Amino acid sequence: MRKTGIKRNRAALMPILVTSPFDRVAMDVLGPLPMSENRNKYVIVFGEYLKKYVTAVALLETTTEIMLHFGAPLTQAKQRPRAMKFDQQELD
């Protein structure tokens, strides 16, 4: 049976303006997950907003050094991202 008369306030979707590849990227860590045959328990995922390019890397552990190892090449690239998003936190 359907409930009627229930109205939910929903926020309007806001478009994300991206003008060039790697202008805006996102990074997130998934885990801990069940250990794989290679003893990996975490997955780091990178996403690029314009071309929708996504890549994932399996990790044994998550440390600051590992996050910098995978995230630093993005910031050192010739065309540096204008914004990076980590776990719902935006860095401009």
Neighbours of 74 (CB within 10 A): 16
In order of start, what are the domains of the chain with their CATH numbers? Answer: 26-85 (3.30.420.10)
pTM flag (> 0.85): no
Strand order in the sheet with 54-59: 54-59, 42-48, 24-30, 83-86, 89-91
pLDDT value, residue 34: 96
pLDDT, tens only, 13-72 = 888 888 888 788 888 889 999 999 999 999 988 888 888 889 898 999 888 777 767 665
